[in-house]
């Protein structure tokens, strides 16, 4: 079965084509792959994929109704659209990608939604219920968690590298978007992202968690609208907002500007604070795992974390992010089970 994965992230699109006859845990060399910075090039990119394509897998960030990998139907499309407000950069893109794939590969080709929050379906109520009015749950307001594909792959790979399944892991997915996951015995027990991908760590252009009273103040006294706050919190904050230079960690590290230095220091401080929280949930840690563009390629950040958490005696692992492979694997497991 030849499966094409389309992974639209917050800053780029990654595609991968694999041929599988079984579901190995680790990836082999793909038949074809592409990494496009501009989402506008998707159609040309997909047309360059070698034929045939037997199925297409899409990473879907947000859906209140669906959590597990499922074949895309009109009902699933409607659920993806309803989640676009909480994850606009991802779900709106994937809706377009589903339409483009249908035009290119034909309506008979199965398309599969792989939900980024499914790994976090094991969260207990004390981890996913917000301390607001309990009635919020009826409105679907709860912690869902994201980057599940990355956390799932990284925790499975860490278990393979360490040679045992019974582990307490703190997985740090650090890219333009960033989140931590506390993993006990291969299951997610807590995570920093919540109702949307905005909560938690400082990110490239997202603020992460801030005092909600700031938003109330800006609305009441500075005339800010919901749309303007959405723009600020998602696209004008984080590394970009503090440094005034860039949301790219490489630019931050290469700059001598005081605000760039401050942006890195805030990033490291908040990362360590959240790692400490995850260690508290787990009662310690056997390993701290770094993955994603920043996690894999920023030694100064890893050195700070390793030094701060020497007392945990945890191993420090760097694992290459394989979200597209995890999508291919999930798609294969679904379609081979139903075919």
Is residue 165 flagged as an active site residue?
Answer: no
CA distance 129 to 67: 17
Tell me the Ramachandran region of residue 261: left when phi exceeds 0, alpha when psi lies from -120 to 50, beta otherwise. Answer: alpha
C-alpha distances (whole Å) from 319 to each of 143, 289, 316 are 26, 7, 10
CA distance 216 to 222: 10
Longest Cα separation, the chain = 61
Given the residues 18, 116, 190, 248, the one annotated as active site: 116
CA distance 290 to 135: 37
Intra-chain end-to-end CA distance of the chain, in Å: 11
CA distance 204 to 294: 10
In sequence order, the β-bridge partners of residue 113 are 58, 70
Cα-to-chain-centroid distance, residue 166: 24
Name the residues annotated as catalytic: 116
């Amino acid at each position: 079965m030849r499966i094409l994965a389309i992974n639209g992230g917050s800053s780029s699109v990654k595609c991968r084509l694999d041929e599988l006859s079984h579901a190995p845990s680790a990836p082999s060399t793909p038949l074809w792959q592409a990494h496009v910075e501009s989402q506008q090039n998707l159609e040309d990119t997909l047309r360059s994929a070698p034929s045939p394509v037997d199925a297409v897998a899409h990473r879907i960030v947000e859906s209140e109704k669906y959590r597990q990998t499922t074949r895309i139907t009109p009902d699933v499309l409607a659920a993806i659209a309803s989640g676009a407000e909480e994850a606009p950069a991802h779900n709106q893109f994937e809706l377009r990608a589903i339409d483009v794939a249908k035009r290119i590969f034909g309506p008979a080709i199965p398309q599969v939604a792989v939900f980024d929050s499914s790994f976090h379906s094991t969260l207990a109520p004390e981890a996913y219920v917000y301390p607001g009015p309990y009635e919020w749950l009826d409105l679907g307001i709860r912690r869902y968690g994201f980057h599940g594909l990355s956390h799932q792959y990284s925790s499975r790979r860490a278990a393979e590298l360490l040679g045992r399944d019974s582990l307490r892991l703190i997985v740090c997915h650090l890219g333009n978007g960033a989140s931590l996951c506390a993993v006990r015995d291969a299951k997610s027990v807590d995570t920093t992202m919540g109702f949307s991908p905005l909560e938690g760590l400082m990110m490239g252009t997202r603020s992460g968690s801030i005092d909600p009273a700031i938003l109330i103040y800006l609305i009441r006294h500075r005339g800010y609208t919901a749309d303007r706050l959405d723009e600020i919190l998602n696209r004008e904050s984080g590394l970009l907002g503090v440094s005034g230079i860039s949301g790219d960690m490489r630019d931050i590290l290469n700059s001598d500007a005081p605000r760039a230095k401050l942006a890195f220091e805030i990033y490291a401080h908040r990362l360590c604070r959240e790692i400490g929280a995850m260690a508290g949930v787990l009662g310690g840690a056997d390993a701290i795992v770094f993955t994603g563009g920043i996690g894999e390629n920023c030694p100064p950040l890893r050195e700070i974390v390793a030094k701060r958490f020497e007392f945990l005696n945890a191993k420090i692992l760097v694992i290459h992010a394989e979200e597209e492979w995890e999508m291919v694997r999930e798609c294969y497991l679904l379609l081979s089970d139903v075919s």
